[in-house]
Amino acid sequence: MKLTSFAFKGNVRRQLGNAVLQDNMKRFGGRFVKARAEAMQQVDNLEALRLAATQVRDHTLAHLEEYLTAFEDCARKRGTVVHWAETSEDVNRIVLNIAAAGGVSRVVKSKSMVSEETGLNEALASAGIETIETDLGEYILQLADEPPSHIIAPAIHKNLDEVADLFSSRHHTPRQTDIPALCREAREQLRPHFLSAQMGISGGNFLVAETGSVALVTNEGNGRMVTTLPRIHVAITGIEKVLPTLNDLSLILRLLTRSATGQDITNYVSLLTGVRGPDDLDGPVESHVILVDSGRSGLLGTDLQPALRCIRCGACMNHCPVYQVVGGHAYGWVYPGPIGAVLTPAYVGLEKALDLPQASTLCGACQVVCPVRIPLPELMRVLREKSMERRLRPWTERWLVMLWRWVAAQPALYAVVTRWAARVLRWAGGRSGLLHHLPGLDGWTEGRDMPAPQGQTFRDLYRRKAP
């Protein structure tokens, strides 16, 4: 996927001016929030479950090499070829080599965010291999030539009318707006590809070390067809996705599906283990798993390691007031929302995604709903500190922060400065009591007015209330 995170502010301006997007985000985003809240109410002792899941993820990350090696051994025994890819280029090269060796001219894909990281579709296209996305959301986006804007609902930014127009123009069929009919139309288009593709490419929600299995969690049947119908199956997944046992998987699944879509369980949970056996009716003859690093191991042992716990449920973005307004494309890379504001700078470099950790009021909603308790606001603060230390922020901002730090460290001076600031701001608010413009802090007032303070500081009010 083409990186545009460095142009976040421009992206945001464009998205804020898109009335259809605003309407779509308002309509669809709220549904996930409601569904999650209802599903979580049914869970006994939710906090104990979140704690257990967090501990499993932390334990696995602390012994990552051990569990990945165990996974590799078990997977190999079941006939899977395990590849290690250090970079995105390695992933594409490995897939192209497998395709060349297998005489592949057509690939069907189920959703894989890692393949978006590597730009795999483009690499396959340049090798003359036709690639068809088969997840409905991804298929819609492939027709529209757009990247995903959400990690579990990639086409969340599109409404029914837009999809109806797209299908009609790309399939050359009469326009229809009945959702089951549109799904049937997509199925009719995709079915021949499932039957004729020589290779299926999927992601992997998790890897199970004790069995050498790839776990896929989906709501559409496409995942099973991609992984069982073509002769060759390739699963591409990040190294952090490994779990020690099937019990751990069942624990994580209880949280994943409820956090993502509010479902007790998704329509399909598949465990893909090795190649087709002599008595199996289906399954691939050739099975490959590509374990992708691409920046992940660089986070181990750092302040940002907790981000690797992520199970890609999407709850943080569904609850983020910034994501809800600007949508996923504004973030300019594969992972949007709060987790994207941490992972993108960590994977592509802070200087290429400098504004993402700033795109948050640090309200904490993301951390509250994260099933594996990733302290996202804290991680964004860590990245903000790094950008200051590395002098990546504008010098005016750095000087303002340094000045503020100096003032805040001297209580008497702080009291005088804040008292005067409160009075000046009250005066600037005038009769309306609203500040339309704050010199040097335009970002705060560009899209809304800021209520002016009442002319008193917290200390003044506290002193008055104190006995």
* Residue 1, SS3 per DSSP: coil
**Where does this chain touch ligand SF4 (CB under 6 A) — which range of 15-23, 75-83, 292-300, 365-373?**
365-373
- Site for ligand SF4 contains 340 (CB under 6 A): no
What distance in Å separates the CA atoms of residue 298 and residue 301, rounded to the nearest whole number? 8
What distance in Å separates the CA atoms of residue 10 and residue 16, rounded to the nearest whole number? 10
- Site for ligand SF4 contains 310 (CB under 6 A): yes
- Site for ligand SF4 contains 372 (CB under 6 A): yes
For ligand SF4 (CB under 6 A), the number of binding residues is 14
- Site for ligand SF4 contains 315 (CB under 6 A): yes
Nearer to ligand SF4, 68 or 255 (CB): 255
Tokens, residue 457: 């500081």
Answer yes or no: are the C-beta atoms of 390 and 353 closer than 8 Å. Answer: no
- Site for ligand SF4 contains 328 (CB under 6 A): no
- The conformation of residue 447, written as its DSSP 8-state character, comes to S
Q: How far is the CB of 370 from ligand SF4 (least distance, A)?
A: 3
How far lies 156's CA from each of 2, 85, 113, 242, 466, in Å?
A: 19, 31, 15, 28, 51
Which 205-244 residues touch ligand SF4, going by CB under 6 A? none
- Site for ligand SF4 contains 311 (CB under 6 A): yes
Nearer to ligand SF4, 313 or 452 (CB): 313
- Site for ligand SF4 contains 61 (CB under 6 A): no
Nearer to ligand SF4, 99 or 365 (CB): 365
- Site for ligand SF4 contains 49 (CB under 6 A): no
Q: What is the H or E stretch that residue 53 is in?
A: helix 46-62
Tokens, residue 136: 């409905």
Nearer to ligand SF4, 99 or 380 (CB): 380
CA-closest candidate to residue 374, choices 342, 350, 346: 342
Which 242-261 residues touch ligand SF4, going by CB under 6 A? 259
List, as one string, the DSSP characters of 252-269. HHHHHHHHHTS-SS-SEE
**Where does this chain touch ligand SF4 (CB under 6 A) — which range of 27-35, 66-74, 277-285, 307-315?**
307-315
What distance in Å separates the CA atoms of residue 204 and residue 241, rounded to the nearest whole number? 8
> At a CB cut-off of 8 Å and minimum separation 6, what does 243 contact?
56, 60, 67, 206, 207, 208, 209, 249, 252
Nearer to ligand SF4, 29 or 284 (CB): 29
Binding residue for ligand SF4, selected from 230, 306, 314, 336, defined by CB under 6 A: 314
Q: Which residues of this protein are in contact with ligand SF4, per CB under 6 A?
A: 259, 310-316, 339, 369-372, 374
